């Protein structure tokens, strides 16, 4: 039986502002098996990045549970959280903004090792940095370079090396290839795949690119305005999407063929405001199948098929 390395229960993150309460993440629950990848997809502003940051407590959740190896991360004290974070890392979206421009490659990769006191001498730390550079495909000649001297792909490799420095078991990949050229995207994705196979890593892979998430993920969670819309194994989600929002997303995937192209689903209406949203389905205002029930009642998140979960009144008879 597979082992659950991460279990998220009823995760909530609200932000207060002058207009009211922004529901960034609203009752999100899922689990990930050790060594697997969960892809989280959705439009900008759907809460996917906030979910990843709440799991690592880069944002403090409003409520919920995050069980990592059976231990609730949200109840840990600062010293305990510091130790736990060695096993939980993140790769940020922008490989330039996430790096200190005043530090060299060696200093950037070695910083986690220094902060956690992993090596007693600078020499031992430098040897480890060179090994990490080799692991992520960075030539040793860049050891004393600065981020602005490198291209986007190499900068992202620095970010990956930093994430690997403490030998974590779980990594949140927050749109790690969206700022890169297509050819470089493929290199980084293949690198992440190889690292997962060699090190047994578990990923949350956050992206808005469904083609990428299909290639990279074992399971896919679709979010919309902070809510879970659908979750299923990657192949099942692409073969038989149940939620109207998922169907619209899949119809937008570019296909390099002039034959057998699926009909593009254009979503009507306006996006519901995430600030103090009303009862009902968050997607109702843009759904072609919306009924009075959709506007009145929030659809429960249920298992419509084995391992296939959906929050839609249409899928529940």
Confidence of residue 215 (pLDDT cuts 50, 70, 90): confident
1 or 7, which is more confident = 7
Q: What is the mean pLDDT of residues 59-63?
A: 96
Q: What is the mean pLDDT of residues 276-297?
A: 92
Least confident stretch, 138-147, 265-274, 303-312: 265-274
Confidence of residue 258 (pLDDT cuts 50, 70, 90): low
For residue 263, the model assigns a pLDDT of: 78
C-beta contacts of 114-118 below 8 A and 24+ residues apart: 116/86, 116/166, 118/166
15 or 266, which is more confident = 15
pLDDT tens by residue, 151-202: 988 999 999 999 999 999 999 999 988 878 888 888 889 999 999 999 999 9
pTM: 0.92
For residue 261, the model assigns a pLDDT of: 66
For residue 97, the model assigns a pLDDT of: 87
Among the listed residues 301, 66, 263, 182, the one whose alpha carbon sits nearest the alpha carbon of residue 58: 66
Is pLDDT at 283 greater than 60 in this prediction? yes
For residue 293, the model assigns a pLDDT of: 93
For residue 211, the model assigns a pLDDT of: 83
For residue 241, the model assigns a pLDDT of: 94
Instruction: Give the separation between CA 158 and CA 148, rounded to whole angstroms.
Output: 12
CB contact set of 238 (below 8 Å; sequence gap of 6+): 214, 250
Confidence of residue 117 (pLDDT cuts 50, 70, 90): confident
Burial class (CB in 10 A: 0-12, 13-18, 19+), 288: exposed
Asked if 148 contacts 101 with a C-beta cutoff of 8 angstroms, the reply is yes
Confidence of residue 122 (pLDDT cuts 50, 70, 90): confident
pLDDT tens by residue, 262-272: 678 888 878 88
pLDDT tens by residue, 44-56: 889 999 999 999 9
Burial class (CB in 10 A: 0-12, 13-18, 19+), 86: middle
Is pLDDT at 234 greater than 70 in this prediction? yes
Strands 88-91 and 170-174: parallel
For residue 309, the model assigns a pLDDT of: 96
CA 41 vs CA 51, 204, 230: distances in Å: 11, 11, 10
For residue 1, the model assigns a pLDDT of: 56
């Amino acid at each position: 039986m597979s082992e659950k390395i991460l279990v998220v229960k009823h995760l909530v993150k609200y932000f207060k502002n002058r207009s009211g309460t922004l529901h960034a993440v609203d009752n999100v629950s899922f689990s990930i098996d050790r060594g697997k990848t969960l892809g989280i997809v959705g439009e900008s502003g759907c809460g996917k990045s906030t979910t990843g940051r709440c799991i690592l407590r880069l944002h403090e959740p409003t409520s919920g549970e995050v069980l990592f190896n059976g231990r609730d991360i949200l109840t840990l004290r600062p010293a305990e959280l510091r130790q736990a974070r060695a096993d939980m890392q993140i790769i940020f979206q922008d490989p330039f903004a996430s790096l200190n421009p005043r530090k060299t490659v060696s200093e950037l990769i070695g910083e986690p090792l220094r902060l956690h006191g992993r090596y007693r001498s600078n020499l031992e730390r430098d040897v480890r940095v060179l090994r990490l550079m080799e692991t992520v495909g960075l030539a040793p000649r860049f050891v004393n370079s600065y981020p602005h001297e490198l291209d986007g792909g190499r900068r992202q490799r620095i970010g990956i090396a930093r994430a690997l420095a403490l030998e974590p078991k779980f990594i949140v990949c927050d749109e790690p290839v969206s700022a890169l050229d297509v050819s470089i995207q493929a290199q980084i994705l293949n690198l992440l795949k190889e690292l997962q196979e060699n090190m047994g890593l578990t990923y949350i892979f956050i992206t808005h690119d469904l083609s990428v998430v299909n290639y990279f993920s074992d399971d896919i969670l679709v979010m919309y305005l902070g809510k879970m819309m659908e979750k299923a194994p990657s192949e099942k989600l692409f073969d038989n999407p149940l939620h109207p929002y998922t169907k619209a997303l899949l119809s937008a995937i570019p296909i390099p063929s002039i034959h057998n192209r699926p009909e593009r689903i254009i979503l009507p209406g306006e996006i519901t405001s995430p600030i103090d949203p009303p009862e009902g389905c968050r997607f109702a205002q843009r759904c072609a199948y919306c009924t009075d029930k959709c506007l009145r009642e929030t659809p429960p998140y249920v298992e419509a098929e084995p391992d296939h979960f959906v929050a839609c009144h249409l899928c529940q008879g």
